[in-house]
């Protein structure tokens, strides 16, 4: 899993866990916010596709039909 995240998303799950162990969850959260915030609105962006959850709503892969 770590290899996939490194190659696909330029982040390491192992490095993130090591950072949390060394510095705590609060420091990790602050670091992640600095790296993954939207420059337009300040909200968080997805680490997977870089889209802002507020400015760029994610489309559903499958639409559920309502009968």
pLDDT digits (tens, 9 = 90+) for 11-66: 889 999 999 999 999 999 999 999 999 999 999 898 888 889 888 876 665 655 66
Q: What is the spatial distance between Cα 67 and Cα 50, in angstroms, rounded to a whole number?
A: 34
pLDDT at 65: 61
User: How many whole angstroms separate alpha carbon 60 and alpha carbon 14?
Assistant: 30
Q: Quote the pLDDT of residue 25.
A: 97
What is the structure's pLDDT at 28?
Answer: 96
pTM: 0.66
Alpha helices in 1-67 (DSSP H): 2-9, 13-23, 25-35
């Amino acid at each position: 899993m770590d290899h996939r995240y490194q190659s696909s998303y330029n982040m390491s799950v192992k490095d993130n866990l090591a950072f949390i162990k060394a510095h705590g969850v609060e420091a990790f959260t602050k670091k992640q916010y600095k790296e993954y915030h939207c420059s337009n609105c300040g909200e968080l962006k997805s680490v997977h596709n870089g889209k802002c959850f507020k400015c760029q709503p994610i489309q559903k892969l499958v639409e559920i039909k309502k009968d």
